[in-house]
Amino acid sequence: MVKDKKEEIPKKKKGLAAFLKKRAPFYLAAIALIIISAQGILSEKNLESSLPEFSAEEQNVVDILMKYDGGNGGYTMMNAITNQIEEEYSDEKVFDHRKTVVEMSVSSINSDEHSVDLNFKSHKGEMNFNWNVNSVTKKITSDNPESKHLIDVVDFYD
């Protein structure tokens, strides 16, 4: 019995599995590069992501302050603070700088009144904002000229 030469030669693997098996390391490397580059874009820092964690009561006070829109709707205190910082540091991404620190503290004046202090420190300088927030009436007053300016910007925004 003579075997045919065709039977002795192993058949080549065909199909998608063989194709992927050969090229799997290249595809995994490409996927890893895409994920790494997308992570930088998706995790871009801003003021909101830089704020510290608060207790439930303190977070309520911070929310009242940051969502304050002066009755005009749309332009909030968070927008005003962010714009103020961006104007000061217009030529760079200041939140991505390693020396940038955002400190925010909430202290109780009485059962309804709270003092909110926001200190923004960067490699070029410092900005300090102080507000008094009434958690019942949701009225916000300022303790310094920079904070008063931001309240005015929000109140008179068109």
pLDDT digits (tens, 9 = 90+) for 113-158: 998 888 888 777 788 889 898 888 888 888 788 888 888 888 887 6
pTM of the model: 0.63
The pLDDT, as a whole number, for residue 97 is 67
The pLDDT, as a whole number, for residue 2 is 55
d(CA 85, CA 121): 10
Rounded to 5 degrees, φ, ψ at 25 are: -60, -35
Q: How far is CA 83 from the centre of its chain?
A: 14
